[in-house]
Amino acid sequence: MDTSASTGTGTGVGSGRAADNVVAALEALIVSGELKNREPLPAERELMEQFGTSRTVIREAISKLASLGLVETRPRFRPVVRKPDYATVLHACGNVVQHLLADKTGIKNLYDSRVFVERTLVRDAAVSAQKDDIVDLKAALEHNKKAISDSDEFFRTDIAFHGVLYRIPQNPIFPAIHEGYSSWLAPRWNQMLRSPERNEQNYLAHKAILDAILERDPMAAEEALINHLNAAWEFVRVTFDWDDE
Amino acid sequence: MDTSASTGTGTGVGSGRAADNVVAALEALIVSGELKNREPLPAERELMEQFGTSRTVIREAISKLASLGLVETRPRFRPVVRKPDYATVLHACGNVVQHLLADKTGIKNLYDSRVFVERTLVRDAAVSAQKDDIVDLKAALEHNKKAISDSDEFFRTDIAFHGVLYRIPQNPIFPAIHEGYSSWLAPRWNQMLRSPERNEQNYLAHKAILDAILERDPMAAEEALINHLNAAWEFVRVTFDWDDE
DNA sequence: TCGAAACTTTGGTCGGACCAAACATATGAA
DNA sequence: TTCATATGTTTGGTCCGACCAAAGTTTCGA
């Protein structure tokens, strides 16, 4: 859309927001590593002197950096530098996403996109999963099995199983996406009733997916995945008494 | 990760940030529609009185709303209310994403994810594209053809062709993703040399994809898409003299 | 009727002040 | 010496009042 990042405030003086200069400067210091990851930012009053500007501007800059995910601010603590990674992006989206999940349509859209992604994930897994991927999947499935009687634990291992799928492409974007789905979607049906029966059902569904992957059958894997997620959605739908298709 | 949205400042007084209350309140006013979309926020001094707090807090709140994408702020203008939609999410991510595209690895990751998405997009299109989808695709392809001699125009119609793909699932998330890919990735190879020859090549690639879709052949469609995007990437790779695989 | 000038509103910035919590240091009992 | 407690300093969060310049509005003359 806009290339604001590069155009910025231009000559650096005059146009618009003074905070932007500070943001840009600190941004540079962070990516260059001069401000080391996980370390606190200098005190506001220090930065204020360092940049020859008022505390107002410094604070605004810090606020902006925080919203960019480059620093983490806790109420009464020094902001902590955080080098941006893929998780940062998701974190930045998070707050906005909430609004889109206000109605069932939004939730359904997100859920559908998840199905969309995982379909290809399992297809690809069936075609090209490596030995260690298989090992991970088997282990995750085993954790499922062991946790059938403990719904809370099963919930975690359930997410973990899908997580393995997202790691297979070796692209850090996917685990981040998984993190997103997990943190945005899962809480929605947190208050949903769980039971060893359902857990077992889900375990079997996971097993069916893994079996198809082991057989190197993308079609079957995709189908098993679709069945699994459709069933899960159906359960959600019934639970919350949603009428839509 | 954290459920800060719900826990928030709790009783509203004391713990942490006063601005959060204002943010929450304005947030509510915006989603409820009391602050209508596209309309300016009340003046800071007015809000300040309305919330019984200082301008500092109001400004911080507005800044936060802006970073949430709920209002748009231009340097010397009143913030404009903006009801969050899927594009808002992408916009929020945008700034952070830039940092991840600093090196070729980041770009490749993003590009790969795009391929990943579009593969399923075309598969699904081959299986279930409706008549009007087909019409749109044909029209987009026709625009490609007509623009072969005009590289700038072709660039646009190229994006538009892929955009049609993203609209087929009828899920607003996908067009937003497309918007993301377009605005983050495309500018990277803006300075890449274009030519009618390459345009024609891309046109033909698009045509191959559409043909496969028309034949209802998901495999062929996916393959055509992969060939198309691989070739495009190869061109990028060579242009920027990247060595990686 | 219309555009320029004068006035008012309002966002951006500044500087100073105060509070309370975090942090650092000193102190005294064990 | 050790460690917990008391004391002192730093620092983020908030508020106030002020000023500037640009945006918005009204006035007024051509």
SS (H, E, C) chain B: CCCHHHHCCCCCCCCCCHHHHHHHHHHHHHHHCCCCCCCECCCHHHHHHHCCCCHHHHHHHHHHHHHHCCEECCCCCCCEECCCCHHHHHHHHHHHHHHHCCCHHHHHHHHHHHHHHHHHHHHHHHHHCCHHHHHHHHHHHHHHHHCCCCHHHHHHHHHHHHHHHHHCCCCCHHHHHHHHHHHHHHHHHCCCCCCHHHHHHHHHHHHHHHHHHHCCCHHHHHHHHHHHHHHHHHHHHHHHCCCCC
The number of beta carbons lying within 10 Å of the beta carbon of residue B48 is 18
In angstroms, the CA of B15 and the C1' of C29 are apart by 35
Tens of pLDDT along A67-105?
A: 888 999 999 999 999 988 888 888 888 888 988 998 899
Contacts of B176 in chain A (CB under 8 A): none
Rounded CA separation B11/B15 (Å): 8
Segment holding A57, helix H or strand E: helix A55-68
Contacts of A70 in chain B (CB under 8 A): 99
Give Cβ neighbours of residue A211 (< 8 Å, ≥ 6 apart): A224
Task: Among B75, B91, B113, select the one facing A171 at the smallest CB separation.
Answer: B113
> Three-class SS of residue A53?
coil
**What local confidence, expressed as pLDDT, does residue B90 receive?**
86
Contact with chain A for residue B171, Cβ under 8 A: yes
Asked if residue A73 keeps its beta carbon closer than 7 A to nucleic acid strand C, the reply is no
Asked if residue A45 keeps its beta carbon closer than 7 A to nucleic acid strand D, the reply is yes
The number of beta carbons lying within 10 Å of the beta carbon of residue A148 is 20
- Chain A's closest residue to B92, CA to CA, is A93
Tens of pLDDT along B199-230?
A: 999 999 999 999 999 999 999 999 999 999 99
Residues 67-106 of B with CB under 8 A from A: 67-70, 75-76, 84-86, 88-89, 91-100, 102
Per-residue tens of pLDDT for chain B, all 245 residues: 333 333 333 333 345 689 999 999 999 999 889 998 899 999 999 999 999 999 999 999 999 999 888 999 999 999 999 988 888 888 888 888 988 998 899 999 999 999 999 999 999 999 999 999 999 999 999 999 999 999 999 999 999 999 999 999 999 999 999 999 999 998 888 778 889 999 999 999 999 999 999 999 999 999 999 999 999 999 999 888 887 65
> Three-class SS of residue A217?
coil
- Answer yes or no: are the C-beta atoms of B164 and B153 closer than 8 Å: no
- Answer yes or no: are the C-beta atoms of A79 and A41 closer than 8 Å: yes
Contacts of A85 in chain B (CB under 8 A): 100
**What local confidence, expressed as pLDDT, does residue B12 receive?**
34
Strands B80-81 and B71-72: antiparallel
| Nearest Cα to Cα of residue A166 among A114, A118, A110 | A118
Rounded CA separation B118/B210 (Å): 13
Partner-chain contact A95 B16, CB within 8 Å: no
Signed CA dihedral, A39, A43, A44, A49: sign only: negative
Partner-chain contact A75 B169, CB within 8 Å: no
Task: Among A1, A92, A93, select the one facing B183 at the smallest CB separation.
Answer: A1
In angstroms, the CA of A47 and the C1' of C15 are apart by 16
Compute φ and ψ for B14, nearest 5 degrees. 100, -70
> Three-class SS of residue A40?
strand
| Nearest Cα to Cα of residue B46 among B82, B10, B12, B22 | B22
Rounded CA separation B157/B146 (Å): 9
- Answer yes or no: are the C-beta atoms of B161 and B74 closer than 8 Å: no
Q: Would you give the distance in Å from CA B45 to the centre of its chain?
A: 35
Task: List the beta bridge partners of residue B80.
Answer: B40, B72
Asked if residue A12 keeps its beta carbon closer than 7 A to nucleic acid strand C, the reply is no
| Nearest Cα to Cα of residue B140 among B127, B128, B125 | B125
Q: How far is B225 from chain A (nearest CA, A)?
A: 15
Torsion, Cα A109 A112 A116 A117, to 10 degrees, reads 80
In angstroms, the CA of B44 and the C1' of D10 are apart by 32
| Nearest Cα to Cα of residue A218 among B218, B90, B212 | B218
Rounded CA separation A97/B124 (Å): 26
**What local confidence, expressed as pLDDT, does residue B10 receive?**
32
- Answer yes or no: are the C-beta atoms of A116 and B113 closer than 8 Å: no
Task: Among A64, A84, A116, select the one facing B99 at the smallest CB separation.
Answer: A84
Partner-chain contact B99 A31, CB within 8 Å: yes
